[in-house]
Amino acid sequence: EQLSLIFLYISCWCIANSHSFIIHHLTKSSRCGVSKICDNLNPIIDTEFISGTSAILSQKPIGTNSTTLQMLSFYCFKPVMCPTSCRDMWFNSIKDIPGLRGSVYVASEGINAQMAIPPEHLDDFLHHCSNKTLFPFDKIPPNLGDTVSIKIPTFDKLIVRVRDFVLRDGLSQETNLNWEEAGPELEAQEWQRGLNSNEDRVLIDCRNLYESAKGTFQDALPLGTDTFKESWDRLDLLTKDLPRNKPFYIFCTGGIRCVKVGAYLKQKLKFENVSRLKHGIISYQKWVSENPDEVSIWQGENFLFDKRRLEREEKDELK
């Protein structure tokens, strides 16, 4: 009988402490912005808590009568206090937009997205995200690419995902760079003028080798990397004998990689004059197409990261 009482006491103690443990974690999640389960009958499941930082929320695009899609991308390096909560807010806020597809990556360092949306819903999308404080489009306009037929493969789904980084760089924590100090951005026209001048400068292609092989700017030096995290050793080697006042022009597909490369050149390697192509190759090619009197200094194709690239490669193989 005494033994039964002991077991009963231990069982009650375990149940009580388990309850306290659950309440502690639920309130902890609520403090960082995760949906309060008691306040919402249909909460967004905190899949990060269940599945780790690669957990995603996704859905197939909602049907639309539109015949075209506007390609766009945007990024911002600003601290995100609770990426899981931010992911849920993003998904809930945009999931009902007809035809919207693409990927939004959320991390503690910021947000990075590549999307396709029917043009008639673009303004509503931008205003809605700004009003919901999801992204400061009023201060950082999106990078608008091509308008393509909705029949052309772009993205299969709308995906909002939490990641450790929006752009994994492989840098140690001791490097401690400020992404807001990466050198000025040049509009396409100013970039063209700078590259066509007789200035003694260095032009660096910040993309991987498989991208540079498809196309690049005249006289550009490719870093020759297989992954972005290899960039730092290549930059150290490439620049070791150059004077610190040497002008640098750097570019990538949409601009995000140049933020980290520019910060590294300025802060770690101490180069004084670093300029970046605003919105990258995508913006430059759009500017050239809209200004037929300008002679493009781009050679080849721009490597795409959506499904349009796969379609092009399949067509090339059939030739």
Residues 6+ apart with CB under 8 A from 18: none
- Residue 230 and residue 212 in contact, taking contact as beta carbons nearer than 8 Å: no
Scan for tokens 């290899």, then name that residue. 230
Enter the DSSP assignment of 264. Answer: I
* Residue 315: strand, helix, or coil: helix
- Residue 211 and residue 281 in contact, taking contact as beta carbons nearer than 8 Å: no
- Residue 89 and residue 40 in contact, taking contact as beta carbons nearer than 8 Å: no
- Residue 128 and residue 81 in contact, taking contact as beta carbons nearer than 8 Å: no
DSSP-assigned beta bridge partners for residue 216: 299
38 is catalytic: no
Enter the DSSP assignment of 265. Answer: I
Out of 82, 129, 252, 258, pick the active-site residue.
252
Alpha carbons 75 and 106: distance in angstroms, whole number: 10
Alpha carbons 246 and 199: distance in angstroms, whole number: 10
Alpha carbons 59 and 99: distance in angstroms, whole number: 11
Positions marked catalytic: 252
